[in-house]
Amino acid sequence: MKIKCLSVKNPKSYLFCYGIADVENRGGKTDYRGPLYIHSSGEFSYSGMPDFSQYPMPVVGEFDRYMNEIEKLEATGRYIGFAERGVRVLLKNEEGASDRIIREYNLLSDVYNFTIEKPTKPFFLANAIIGRVDLVDVVENSKSEWAEPGAFHWVFANPVLLNKPVTRVPGAPNIWDHDLSELERRTP
């Protein structure tokens, strides 16, 4: 069985699968609507949290600011150190947080816990099918904070991150087909 796939640069591909980003900016449009498996493309896999400072991500931005302060304290402290960088990640006011804030927190928490358990392994994989979204529309005037002027906005919904990414998959431009039986054979 063939599935539809879309290659997105790593680590932004994860933002779609976590439901943090809802618009992919593309130079063209497509008539296709429906499920798309997200292929994380790029040259590198990332350990820890890559630089997301160019994206509207308030939770990760706040985390980065606090981590910079802890690193400064660690470097200047003569007697005091911070075990595991002194961080225990938790979301304050979860009841009042939007779904997007909760999803961003989940990504941050997953990366943090993964890095503590497997410090030498990359969390953000490249050349892997990592999840699925539904392509629900292609517009030029999306109100999403992820939409860039002058681009076609591919609008995604219903994100799913695969429990077992499918690695060693070469990507392709635009929407491309992948044999599902091949996907099942490569799943670790």
- Listed by start position, the domains of the chain span 1-46+124-188, 48-122
Q: Is 6 exposed, middle or buried (0-12, 13-18, 19+ CB in 10 A)?
A: buried
d(CA 32, CA 13): 19
**Backbone φ, ψ for residue 62 (5° rounding):** -65, -45
d(CA 149, CA 30): 18
Tokens of 2: 């063939």
Top pLDDT among 182 and 146 is at 146
What pLDDT is attached to residue 187? Answer: 47
CATH 3.10.330.20 correct for 1-46+124-188? no
Q: For residues 72-77, give the mean pLDDT.
A: 75
Q: State pTM to two decimals.
A: 0.86
What pLDDT is attached to residue 123? Answer: 95
